Structure formats: C-alpha cells, structure tokens
Amino acid sequence: MLQTKFLSAGSSQKEALKYTCEIVSKIFLKDINYPDVDKIDIRCESANEAEELNELLWTYPEDVLLPHNLTHKNPENVFVEIGYPGSAFGENDKKMLLNVNPDLPNQISEYLYYYQLVIADNSKLRERVATTWQECKSMGLSPSFIDN
C-alpha cells in the first residue's frame, strides 16, 4: 500500500519550500527516519514555485549539494525532479512524491511513498489540503499526520 504522510511545513509558502529542501537533503543522505528511495519527484503548485525551489536547492541547506533539475530541463541522472501540474516526471520504480501543491495529483499510484506538505496558513491552502486528506481516505489510503 502507498505510504501516505501529511507533514506540517510551516505557515507560508516560503517556509514550506525551505522545509522541502531539508527533507530532501535528509532523504538523499539516507537519514534512517526517512524511506530509502532512488528518486524524489517534487510537485509544486506552479512553474514559478518550481523555479523558486530549483534555485533554493542550489544554496540550501548549505552543506548538501543535491542533484536536481526541473522536469522540462533534462532531468536525467538527478535525485530530485521538480515539476508542477501538467509536468511529466521520469520513470523509476523506487521513488517518492513530495507534494508542495495542496491538491491531490492524479498519478500517485506510480509511487511507493506520498508525502503531502501542509501549509498552516489558516486559509485556502489549509482548506485545500484538508480536501486532499479526505480524498486519500476515500481512496482507501491510511494517511498519517506528522507535526514537526
């Protein structure tokens, strides 16, 4: 069964992007608290957000250089592929989807792990991710929430 976790990622999009960089670096460095995967696909809400995350991953965290790229810019031989709705991620059997976008993507069955970031903005983003939680439950998934 698809392991589904909802992770508290701060109260703004900027905090969520930094948190994304931290999680991805821990997974890349094989932190035992995270799954061992060959690749991580990150789904942002927009092309602009994907570009912002791509730039941030070059500088943060400071002590980790993560092989990454955007889906539309030759993402071969990278650990992290960054996209947005409408992007086509590459094929891999042992991969994770890290969803910064509050909406449930269509292709989660392609993954072993689905991590949904929760931005507690007390507004629209939080409401949309609550809908995603309900959709996961209705699909027979057993999501868990982790408050960091």
Q: What is the pLDDT along the chain (148 residues), one digit of tens a residue?
A: 789 999 999 999 999 999 999 999 999 999 999 999 999 999 999 999 999 999 999 999 999 999 999 998 876 789 999 999 988 888 888 999 999 999 999 889 889 999 999 998 888 888 999 999 999 999 999 999 998 7
Q: Hey, CA dihedral for 111, 113, 14, 81, is it positive or negative?
A: negative
Question: In this structure, what DSSP letter does residue 14 have?
Answer: H
What pTM was computed for the model? 0.94
What is the count of structural domains for the chain? 1
**Nearest of 134, 93, 106, 133 to residue 117 by alpha carbon:** 133
Q: In sequence order, which ranges of 11-84 are alpha helices (DSSP H)?
A: 13-28, 47-59
Query: What is the span of the domain harbouring residue 29?
Result: 3-146
- CATH code, domain with 114: 3.40.50.10110
How many residues does the structure list for the chain?
Answer: 148
**Nearest of 114, 100, 122, 109 to residue 54 by alpha carbon:** 100
In the numeric block, which tokens belong to residue 117?
Answer: 């970031």
Specify the pLDDT at position 1: 74
Diameter over CA atoms, the chain: 41
Q: What is the pLDDT of residues 111-138, one digit of tens each?
A: 999 999 999 888 888 899 999 999 999 9
